[in-house]
């Protein structure tokens, strides 16, 4: 039986993440403002609400911060991760000790806003290639320490996860080939000879690299920074022998033209590196 996950984190990882984030915000003195202005036994009921249209991700993670500060907090989910919601939609209702809820507010909102922003941008890119049959992938271009939650958010937006870690698959890039002597075929054969059983993917940035890579046994190609014309030529040359991934310099205004070339995948670091935080607020009462 698989362990329950919250925003891509198992129970131990979730507890560690929540503790570290709260410690960062609370410091050694805690929420001195709430302590100075709110009676210890006061309670608070509040709603987390969207201020703009978006795709939700990270509700369970946000709830974990409130529960960490008040184990008796009552959480009511009003939406689900992956939901596409409109501005004004209520996402979650919380009730608990007022000091605790306010101390957790910023950590909960920061996490929810960030992951929802990623899911929202991911869905926008996915919508841009709708009907092409092309699959949108994320990348390892994530914020340090946030890979699992960020990749979870891209899934909520509709993308598929690419490699989570360096041990998930063999991806031979230009630097590997250069250090190995510049022979793309020899580098592929060396990777296959290692017997890892992992898929061997090779990055190419020129059409003349494709046949040597395939002849040596490459099982997937990553066409780096190729425009639509070059990608169409690559698709024709490969002729369905292996999947083709397009990557590099992908923008909202270019992604559909790339998808229409017939590539299997488009990978995009922008959805985790550059997604703006969603506008989500916590309203009292």
Whole-model pTM over 0.75: yes
Look at residue 106 in the predicted model and tell me its pLDDT: 98
User: Largest Cα–Cα distance of the chain, in whole Å?
Assistant: 73
Integer Cα distance of 27 and 260 in angstroms: 51
pLDDT in tens, the chain (285 residues): 346 899 999 999 999 999 999 999 999 999 999 999 999 999 999 999 999 999 999 999 999 999 999 999 999 999 999 999 999 999 999 999 999 999 999 999 999 999 999 999 999 999 999 999 999 999 999 999 999 999 999 999 999 999 999 999 999 999 999 999 989 999 999 999 998 999 999 999 999 999 999 999 999 999 999 999 999 999 999 999 999 999 999 999 999 999 999 999 999 999 999 999 999 999 998
Residue 260 exposed, middle or buried by CB count within 10 Å (0-12, 13-18, 19+): middle
Domains, the chain, with CATH or none: 11-120+276-284 (3.90.1170.20), 160-267 (3.20.20.70)
Strand 200-204 vs strand 84-85: parallel, antiparallel, or unpaired? unpaired
Per-residue burial over 162-183, b = 16 or more CB atoms within 10 Å of its CB, e = otherwise: bbeeeeebbbbeeebbeeeeee
Look at residue 203 in the predicted model and tell me its pLDDT: 97
Look at residue 3 in the predicted model and tell me its pLDDT: 61
In the block, residue with structure tokens 């939609």: 89
DSSP character string of 200-264? EEEEESSGGGHHHHHHTT--EEEEES--HHHHHHHHHHHTTSS-EEEESS--TTTHHHHHTTT-S
**Are 203 and 170 a contacting pair, CB within 8 Å?**
no
**Are 96 and 70 a contacting pair, CB within 8 Å?**
yes
Integer Cα distance of 18 and 37 in angstroms: 25
Active site residue ranges: 106, 141, 173, 203, 224
Strand 84-85 vs strand 220-224: parallel, antiparallel, or unpaired? unpaired
């Amino acid at each position: 039986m698989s362990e329950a996950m919250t925003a891509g984190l198992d129970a131990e990882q979730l507890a560690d993440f929540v503790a570290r984030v709260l410690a960062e915000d609370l410091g050694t003195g805690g929420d001195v403002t709430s302590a100075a202005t709110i009676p210890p036994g006061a309670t608070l009921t509040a709603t987390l609400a969207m201020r703009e249209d978006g795709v939700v991700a990270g509700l369970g993670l946000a709830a974990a911060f409130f529960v960490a500060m008040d184990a008796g907090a009552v959480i009511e989910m009003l939406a689900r991760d992956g939901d596409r919601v409109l501005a004004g939609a209520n996402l979650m209702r919380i009730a608990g000790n007022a000091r605790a809820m306010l101390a957790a507010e910023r950590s909960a909102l920061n996490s929810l806003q960030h992951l929802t922003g990623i899911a929202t941008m991911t869905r926008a890119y996915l919508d841009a290639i709708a009907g092409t049959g092309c699959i949108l992938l994320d990348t390892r271009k994530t914020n340090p320490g946030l890979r699992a939650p960020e990749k979870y958010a891209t899934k909520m937006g509709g993308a598929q996860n690419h490699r989570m870690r360096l041990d998930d698959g063999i991806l031979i890039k230009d630097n590997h080939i250069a250090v190995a002597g510049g022979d793309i075929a020899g580098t592929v054969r060396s990777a296959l000879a290692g017997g890892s059983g992992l898929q061997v993917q090779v990055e190419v940035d020129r059409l003349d690299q494709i046949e040597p890579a395939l002849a040596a046994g490459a099982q997937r190609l990553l066409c780096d920074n190729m425009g639509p014309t070059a990608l169409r030529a690559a698709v024709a040359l490969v002729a369905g022998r292996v999947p083709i991934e397009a990557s590099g310099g992908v923008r909202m205004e270019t992604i559909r033209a790339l998808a229409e070339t017939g590539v299997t995948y488009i990978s995009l670091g922008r959805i985790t590196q550059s997604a703006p935080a969603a506008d989500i607020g916590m309203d009292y009462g």
